[in-house]
Amino acid sequence: MAPESSLEWLRLSAHYRAMTDGELISIARQSSKLTEIAQQVLASEVSQRRLLIPPEEEEPPPPPPRPEPSPDSPYAEDRELVQICSVWSVSDALKLQWLLDRAGIPFFMGPEKATGVDEVTSDFSKGVSVQIMRIGFFWANEAMRDYFPKDEPASEQVEIPDTAVCCPVCRSQDVIFKNLAHGETSASSVQRFNWTCHNCGNTWQDDGIAKCPASR
C-alpha cells in the first residue's frame, strides 16, 4: 500500500472509530458514495462492532396529480368543484368528513385539495373551504342536515328568513339554504341567499324576502 494510502487508511480508521453505532449505520447505508478506501475502512469497523446494516427506507413517491376533466368532456360540468361550506376547526372538519364519507361523497378541503382532515395544511382558524363535485351537491345537502358546527365564527352565521321560500321552478317549499352570497361590500347592501330545491334540484339566489303565493 502506498504511503499516501496508508496515511488515509489510518486517518479514516480513527475517524470511524470515534463515531457512534448509529452514525456508522447511517454512513454505511450510503457507502456507495464513499471512496474505495473509505468503504474498506468502514466495512472493517462495522465488522469489528458486529453491526447489522438495515436497508435504508425509501420515501414513498408523491401521489400522482389529480387529472383535471377536459372542458370538452360531457361530464365536465358534473365534475366541476363547488364550495359547500367552510370549516373553522379540526373538530368541525372531522364531523363533516364523517358525514360526507358516510354518504360516499368525495370532498376536497382547502387550496391544497386535501381529501382528508389529516392532509390539510391550511390554518383552520382562518376558515378552510370544502368543495365537492357539482353532481354530488344534492346528496351533500342531505348529509349536511346533520352537520352543526360548533366553532363557526359569528360573522359567518346567517339568520335564515322566517318566511316560506318557494322554488321558482317547481314551486316546492322543500328548499335548502346553501350559503350567504358573498361579494356585497356596502353596509347598506341587502343580503343575498343561495338556495337549492330538494324537489327538483334547481339553485337560485334571492334576498330571502319573497313569500310563496297563497294556495287557491
pLDDT tens by residue, 164-195: 677 888 878 777 766 555 444 333 344 566 77
pTM of the entire structure?
0.45
CB distance 133 to 160 below 8 Å? no
- Determine the pLDDT at residue 153: 83
Mean pLDDT across the chain: 78
- Determine the pLDDT at residue 189: 44
What is the dihedral sign for C-alpha 179, 183, 185, 190?
negative
- Determine the pLDDT at residue 183: 44
- Determine the pLDDT at residue 31: 85
Helix/strand/coil for 108: strand
d(CA 105, CA 99): 9
Low-confidence ranges of the chain (pLDDT < 70): 1-4, 56-73, 155-164, 177-193, 207-216
CB distance 120 to 182 below 8 Å? no
